[in-house]
Amino acid sequence: MHIHILGICGTFMGGVAALAKAAGHTVSGSDQNVYPPMSTQLEQQGITLCEGYDPANLTDDVDQVVIGNAMSRGNPMVEYVLNKNIPYTSGPQWLSENVLSNRWVLAVAGTHGKTTTSSMLAWILEFAGLNPGFLIGGVPANFGLSARFGDYPFFVVEADEYDTAFFDKRSKFVHYQPRTCILNNLEFDHADIFENLAAIQKQFHHLIRTVPGEGKIIQNGADTHLQEVIDMGCWSQREKFSVAGDEWSMRNVSEDGASFDVYFENQHAGSVRWQLYGAHNRLNALAAIAAARHAGVPVKDACDALAEFRGIKRRLELIGDINGIRVYDDFAHHPTAIIETLKAAQEMAAGKRIIAILEPRSNTMRMGVHRQELMGSLQGADQIYLYEPANIDWDVREMARHSEKPATVFDDTQQLIDAVCGQAQAGDVVIIMSNGGFEGLHARLVGALEGGEVSQSVQ
């Protein structure tokens, strides 16, 4: 079968493309932003990429079109598909019917930590010799790719609550029908899709309805918003995790966060010695250990696996160490995620100065939904640099005036880079937080600190 994917260069749709190719299909795709690294990864797999959305890219031998959720009515290829009655489906629906059917699906849902927890879980299963399939919204360093078909029965999927497609406004995760389901946390986000928190909770309850009675929900026991969802009705087995007080907990956390003990039902079950930082990552680890146990992996083996877990790209990823100035890339784009990232940075920095750089890029950020909490979330840094993009709906400079820590706003990324270079000194930890390309600022800043020149790459 020849499958053509619209929006193929997104992480999720690129993963769908890789899985379709592995399943033996001919795969091609279109996107308006065809650039490395995703374009390179896809082309290396023999997948034909087309720049833009010209209906001529839909050749006569295309049997089915898979439409990404970034596509909308009015898109030339979408209109052509509808007018010509070409068979089409969504990415999550294709995944459900062609990959997840008859498999033991382990889904990781929540506002924060999905990518990290999914990556941990996939690695634990891999370490145990189970060769799981997976589709993750990032690139785990242990695997070097975001998706693979793997062996039956296990498949790990990052279960995103974002909508499925322009013709299916349910959350993606309702298609996955997991046997093991992690519920990490739940806050209001994606204001461009959801009217309020209750709307998101409704979608999470749709997910819970799909978990079989013999399946298991691994629930963050400290999250009241998740408990409200559970109270709507739950028909599956459950285990809770938290810092303390639930079935799964942690004790004896070292000062630098590099080790902690795992307890199950108040009994010591294993110890983790690893390279990650932050309380949020320790909770992610508890959830992954619990889910892996449901799939048959002993807790000790899961802890041993995490000792070799190497993290994920764009999650406190070290991208440069220049004359003692360490520069990290992080995906944080929600106040809670920013708080946890900076707490992890404090563990890592061990008393050194932290410089935070933030691009408020997500739809929710640009709409100003979290602007009341945003400045407070950045106070874990010693120096704050904020970028004010042209398409933002609120005044970033006004917000910065209320910061207790020094905070400077720029509407030009080169001026921001120049300011950081003038301020940074040996021992500093620089954290760049954005869920996008940030006009290539990451590489440009590293290059400037090195004294070299890095060309600007707008993404």
Would you tell me how many other CB atoms lie within 10 Å of the CB of residue 85?
A: 7
Mean pLDDT of 286-306: 97
pTM of the model: 0.83
Q: State the burial class of residue 143 (Cβ atoms within 10 Å of its Cβ: 0-12, 13-18, 19+).
A: middle
Q: Please, which residues bridge with residue 429 across strands?
A: 326, 354
Could you read off the pLDDT of 90-106 as tens digits, one per residue? Answer: 999 999 999 999 999 99
**Contact of 311 with 330, CB cutoff 8 Å:** no
The pLDDT assigned to 37 comes to: 66
pLDDT of residue 458: 38
1-56 pLDDT, tens digit per residue, is: 999 999 998 889 999 999 999 999 999 999 997 766 677 778 888 999 999 999 99
Residue keyed to tokens 């000194």: 425
Residue 160 reports pLDDT greater than 80: yes
Q: Which residue type is seen at 188? A: F
Q: Find out whether 191 and 334 touch, Cβ atoms under 8 Å.
A: no
Report the pLDDT value the prediction gives residue 40, as an integer from 0 to 100. 78
Average pLDDT over residues 248-277: 92
CA-based end-to-end distance of the chain: 33
How many whole angstroms from its chain centre is CA 341? 14
Alpha carbon distance 455, 437 (integer Å): 14
What does the CA dihedral 442, 448, 450, 456 come to, rounded to 10 degrees?
Answer: 60
**DSSP H or E stretch at residue 82:** helix 76-83
pLDDT band of residue 245 (cuts 50, 70, 90) is confident
Cα separation of 222 and 228, whole Å?
Answer: 12
pLDDT, residue 453, reads 42
At 189, which amino acid appears?
Answer: D
Question: Residue 36's pLDDT is what?
Answer: 65
Q: Is the pLDDT of residue 67 over 60?
A: yes
Measured CA to CA, the distance from residue 226 to residue 425 in angstroms comes to: 43
Amino acid at 15: G
Residue 191: pLDDT band with limits 50, 70, 90: low
Cβ–Cβ contacts within 10 Å for residue 26, how many? 16
- Taking the C-alpha atoms of residue 415 and residue 385, their distance in angstroms, rounded to an integer, is 11
Strand segments (E) across 336-445: 354-358, 383-387, 407-410, 429-433
Query: Distance between CA atoms of 434 and 445, rounded to whole angstroms?
Result: 14
Lowest pLDDT segment from 93-107, 252-266, 359-373, 421-435: 359-373
Q: Which residue has the tokens 């299909």?
A: 25
Instruction: Note the pLDDT tens digit of each residue in 334-370.
Output: 888 888 889 888 888 888 899 999 998 877 777 777 7
pLDDT in tens, 126-146: 999 999 999 998 889 899 888
Checking if the pLDDT of 284 tops 90, the result is: yes
Residue 428: per-residue pLDDT = 94
Q: Which of 101, 102, 59, 99 is nearest to 77 (CA)?
A: 59
Catalogue all structural domains in the chain, each as residue range(s) with its CATH number: 2-89 (3.40.50.720), 102-306 (3.40.1190.10), 317-450 (3.90.190.20)
